[in-house]
Amino acid sequence: MTDSDELSPRLDALRGDFAPLLLAWQRAEGRHHLPWQNTRDPYRVWLSEIMLQQTQVSTVLGYYQRFLARFPTVRELGAAPADEVMALWAGLGYYSRARNLHRCAQQVCEQHGGEFPRSAELLQTLPGIGRSTAAAIASFCFGERTAILDGNVKRVLSRLLAFEGDLASSAQEKRLWRAAEALLPPAGADMPSYTQGLMDLGAGLCTPRSPQCLLCPVSALCAGRAQGDPTRFPIKTRKLKRGRRENWWLWLEQGGRIWLQQRPSEGVWGGLWTLPLFDDEAALLAQARRLGGGEPEALPRVQHALTHLDWVLHPRRLALAAAHDLAPPGPGQWVARERLADYALPAPLKKLIG
Ligand code: SF4
């Protein structure tokens, strides 16, 4: 399928009207009061864009303010110890974002003199900044005419165009990128409101299961709606197969301290501090017997949903006598309860021991 087939007439029909309608709606009814709006500071826009990937606005608000209070500029973030960045990020999930955030700040300082590059093309060369995030920063901060295509915008545009291509295919995704570029408004000065308008439409009206077509500013142009069932789009056939994993967690306490281990920097919970993990209960009990603290207390299991995985964790708690001096399993350290806030803990662990 090429752009000279059914997509071209649809794009032609939209081109003159879509951007003006979206712009007028965004200016009158879109979101204007989020703390990262009304700024052209690429540091703030970048920080918010990274936090908003896979995380809701209501959750991001507090984290955004805390990060800015602690790291008011990209230089301060770049100069901070990685552990401190991870600790401040703890609870937001998808920790590779925090590692890339820190690396990106360092690169901006080392390779760009502490200033973010001013084009989407160059922004994409930085860690953790993909094509859509780069476009969002460049359009918000520098008025560059460049298209975003995050998950929400894919949904809006594929409905608007009744886009039959399967977005599991990279060729079809590229085709949608080209359509997104064809719809951009002609003036760079309109780009911040246009980009925000697409985001607002996807987040507020053109939602996954129940799009509010009656309230939508572009409903008269929407081919998906005209066909009767816009929720048929986007089309994506390849479903992620979710796995299931089970582990046993040994919660060792001694005199107000907890034994924590740092996870390897790559992989699930990379770089975070957790309790020792075991593949089965027998291995955990053998370790507990070696430490001689008696039978560990079985606590209710913890369910944790990761992108591709349902993770079930079975915590077992064991209090060791103060005089006990056998080394707990693996490399790790005793952390006093009052110092836990200095350590980046995954959210389920924080909840468990907090
Ligand atoms: S008319 Fe409905 S389906 Fe089409 S863009 Fe608007 S909200 Fe989405």
Q: Where are the beta strands (DSSP E) in 127-233?
A: none
Residue 155: per-residue pLDDT: 98
Residue 162 CA to ligand 1 centre (angstroms): 10
Q: Nearest-5° angle of CA 241, CA 261, CA 252?
A: 105
Residue-wise pLDDT tens digits, 275-319: 999 988 888 888 888 888 788 999 999 999 887 888 999 999 999
Q: How far is 306 from 162, CA to CA, in rounded Å?
A: 31
- Could you tell me the distance, in angstroms and rounded to a whole number, from the CA of residue 50 to the centre of ligand 1? 26
Share above pLDDT 70 across residues of the chain, in percent, rounded to a whole number: 97
Hey, whose CA ends up nearest to atom 4 of ligand 1?
A: 222
Distance 18 CA to ligand 1 centre (A): 12
Q: Kindly report the CA angle at 53 between 89 and 247, in degrees rounded to 5?
A: 60
Residues comprising the chain, all counted: 354
Quote the pLDDT of residue 73: 98
**Catalytic site includes residue 49:** yes
* Token pair listed for 209: 């299961």
Contacts of 35 (CB under 8 A, 6+ apart): 48, 61, 64, 65
Residue 10: per-residue pLDDT: 87
Q: What is the pLDDT of residue 1?
A: 43
Span 62-87, mean pLDDT? 96
Q: What is the mean pLDDT of residues 159-187?
A: 95
Residue with CA at minimum distance from ligand 1 atom 8? 206
The pLDDT tens digits for 52-67 are 998 889 999 999 999 9
Measuring CA to CA, how many Å separate 3 from each of 8, 193, 223, 243, 330?
6, 27, 16, 37, 58
N- to C-terminal Cα distance for the chain?
55
Determine which one of 29, 49, 115, 295 is catalytic.
Answer: 49
- Give the 3-state secondary structure of residue 324: coil
Q: 174 near 2, Cβ under 8 Å?
A: no
Q: How far is the CA of 221 from the centre of ligand 1 (A)?
A: 9
Mean pLDDT on 64-85: 96
Say if CB 183 and CB 201 are below 8 A apart. no
Instruction: Give the separation between CA 26 and CA 193, rounded to whole angstroms.
Output: 6
Q: Residue 42: is the preceding peptide bond cis (ω within 30°)?
A: no
Q: What are the Cα distances from residue 239, in Å, to 166, 167, 207, 308? A: 12, 11, 20, 11
Q: What's the token pair of residue 49?
A: 């864009």
Q: How far apart are CA 323 and CA 74, in angstroms?
A: 47
Q: Which two tokens stand for residue 204?
A: 């507020």
How far is Cα 293 from Cα 281, in angstroms, rounded to an integer?
A: 16
| 297-298 vs 273-274, strand pairing mode | unpaired
The better pLDDT of the pair 180, 241 is held by 180
Look at residue 5 in the predicted model and tell me its pLDDT.
60
pLDDT value, residue 323: 66
- pLDDT for 354: 77
- Which residue is closest in CA terms to ligand 1's atom 3? 230
Site residues for ligand 1, CB cut-off 6 Å: 156, 159-160, 205-206, 211-213, 216, 218-219, 222, 224-225, 230
Q: Which domains does the chain have, with CATH numbers?
A: 7-232 (1.10.340.30), 243-353 (3.90.79.10)
Write down the pLDDT at residue 240: 62
State residue 117's pLDDT score. Answer: 98
Query: Rounded CA gap, 310 and 215, in Å?
Result: 37
Q: What pLDDT shows up at residue 324?
A: 66
pLDDT of residue 2: 47
How many whole angstroms from 151 Cα to the centroid of ligand 1? 15
Testing ligand 1's pocket by substitution, the residue of 25, 218, 221, 233 carrying the most ligand atoms inside 8 A of its CB is 218
Q: Which of 22, 157, 213 to probe ligand 1 with, by most ligand atoms within 8 A of CB?
A: 213
Element (H, E) at 260: strand 257-262
pLDDT higher at 52 or 91: 52
Residue 325 in this model has a pLDDT that exceeds 80: no
Tens of pLDDT along 33-55? 999 998 999 999 999 999 999 88
97-153 pLDDT tens trace: 999 999 999 999 999 999 999 999 999 999 999 999 999 999 999 999 999 999 999
Report pLDDT for 58: 93
Tokens standing for 305?
A: 């949903």
Rounded to the nearest whole angstrom, what is the distance from the C-alpha of residue 157 to the centroid of ligand 1? Answer: 9
Residue 307: strand, helix, or coil:
coil
Whether residue 20 is predicted with pLDDT greater than 70 in this model: the reply is: yes
Q: Average the pLDDT over each of 212-216, 239-243, 256-260, 337-341 and give the range with the smallest value.
A: 239-243
Q: Mean pLDDT in the chain?
A: 92
Q: What percent of the chain has pLDDT over 90?
A: 73
The H-or-E segment that residue 350 falls in is helix 347-353
CB 242 within 8 Å of CB 177: no
- Scan for tokens 């949904």, then name that residue: 155
Mutational test site, ligand 1, from 22, 157, 160, 210, max ligand atoms within 8 Å of CB: 160
Determine which residue's CA is closest to atom 1 belonging to ligand 1: 219
Phi-psi group of 97: left, alpha or beta (phi > 0 → left; psi -120 to 50 → alpha; rest → beta):
alpha
